């Protein structure tokens, strides 16, 4: 099966990828919906939405400070490096990610579209002042804006919030021109991210899914490899490198 996927990748005119929390799982970052997932202890309604933040900003900030700590001290894994290698070989054109960690960039990926924002980014709820951080804020106290003293929030997209329009537009453009998409480590339930691979498919393109478990995308995917992204993407990058160099 991996050979067929390598052939599809080598024959692709324009290859893109969509990744989810599963590609960071082997870096020790818990996924959202897996058995030990982040959402198990809490529900998305409780934390990753504006109402929850308005109701209890300290609880939401504590959760994000904890996730920032985990992400900033994690290392990219083989999956992140494999995507970066495919980009370096000129094979992968664009990497679209739902992840809010920066492990793709730290592994060397350059052309990354963050659909749901980033834990590196913090934004003022009032004046919109946005800046990058290298470590989580200490909570309490609640972090406030150095410009207008209003409450700061994590620079991520919460449920019910629209995705950054420029990023979303670029992502839709990518799937309009792509003829092959690798979908790795996502449960393919969150919209509009989950609809991106279907646009490639509807235009006659090829979907490669890499996931240890079944997802709603599995039945429409042309190839589904039931495995971990680190191992599978590592193998794919190796085989592509052998074929090209």
CA distances (Å), origin 117, targets 9, 51, 121: 28, 18, 8
Q: How many CA atoms lie within 13 A of 55 on its CB side?
A: 8
Contact segment (CB under 5 A) with Zn ion among 12-20, 50-58, 126-134, 215-223 equals 126-134
Q: Contact, 105 vs 112, CB < 8 A? A: yes
With CB atoms as reference, the residue minimizing the distance to ligand BV8 is: 22
Measured between alpha carbons, how far is 34 from 39 in angstroms, rounded to an integer? 8
Position 99 contacts ligand BV8 (CB under 6 A): yes
Phi-psi region of 160 (alpha: psi -120 to 50; beta: other; left: phi over 0): left
Query: Among 27, 94, 98, 224, which residue interacts with ligand BV8 (rule: CB under 6 A)?
Result: 98
Identity of the residue, 146 or 169, whose beta carbon is nearer to ligand BV8 in the bound complex: 169
Shortest Å, Cβ 145 to Zn ion = 3
Residue 22 binding result from ligand BV8, Zn ion, none, given CB thresholds of 5 to 8 Å by partner type? ligand BV8
Instruction: Based on the residue annotation, tell me whether 116 is a catalytic residue of this protein.
Output: yes
Residue linked to tokens 């890499």: 210
Position 129 contacts Zn ion (CB under 5 A): yes
Instruction: Give the count of residues interacting with ligand BV8 (CB under 6 A).
Output: 36
Identity of the residue, 56 or 146, whose beta carbon is nearer to Zn ion in the bound complex: 146
Measured between alpha carbons, how far is 32 from 24 in angstroms, rounded to an integer? 11
Contacts of 34 (CB under 8 A, 6+ apart): 22, 25
Position 70 contacts ligand BV8 (CB under 6 A): no
Q: Contact, 226 vs 209, CB < 8 A? A: no
Using CB under 6 A as the criterion, which residues of the chain lie in contact with ligand BV8 when the complex forms?
20-22, 25-26, 31-34, 37, 48, 98-100, 116, 156-162, 184-187, 189-191, 210-213, 215, 228-229
Using CB under 5 A as the criterion, which residues of the chain lie in contact with Zn ion when the complex forms?
124, 126-127, 129, 145, 147-148, 150
Q: Which residues are catalytic?
A: 116
């Amino acid at each position: 099966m991996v050979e067929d996927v390598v052939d599809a990748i080598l024959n692709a005119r324009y290859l893109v990828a969509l990744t989810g929390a599963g590609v960071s799982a082997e870096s020790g970052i818990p996924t959202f919906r897996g058995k030990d997932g982040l959402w198990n202890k809490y529900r998305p309604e409780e934390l990753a939405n504006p109402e929850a933040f308005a109701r209890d900003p300290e609880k939401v900030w504590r959760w994000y400070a904890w996730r920032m700590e985990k992400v900033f001290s994690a290392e990219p894994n083989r999956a992140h490096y494999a995507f970066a290698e495919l980009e370096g070989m000129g094979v992968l054109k664009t990497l679209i990610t739902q992840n809010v960690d920066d492990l793709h960039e730290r592994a060397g990926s350059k052309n990354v579209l963050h659909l749901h924002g980033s834990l590196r980014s913090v934004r003022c709820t009032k004046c919109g002042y946005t800046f990058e951080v290298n470590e989580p804020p200490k909570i309490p106290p609640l972090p406030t804006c150095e410009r207008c003293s209003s409450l700061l929030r994590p620079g991520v997209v919460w449920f019910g919030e629209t995705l950054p329009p420029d990023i979303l537009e670029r992502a839709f453009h990518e799937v309009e021109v792509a003829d092959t998409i690798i979908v790795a480590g996502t449960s393919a339930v969150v919209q509009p991210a989950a609809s991106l691979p279907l646009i490639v498919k509807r235009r006659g393109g090829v979907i490669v899914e890499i996931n240890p478990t079944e997802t709603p995308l599995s039945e429409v995917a042309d190839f589904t490899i039931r495995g971990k992204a680190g191992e599978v993407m590592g193998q794919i990058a190796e085989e592509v490198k052998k074929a090209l160099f």
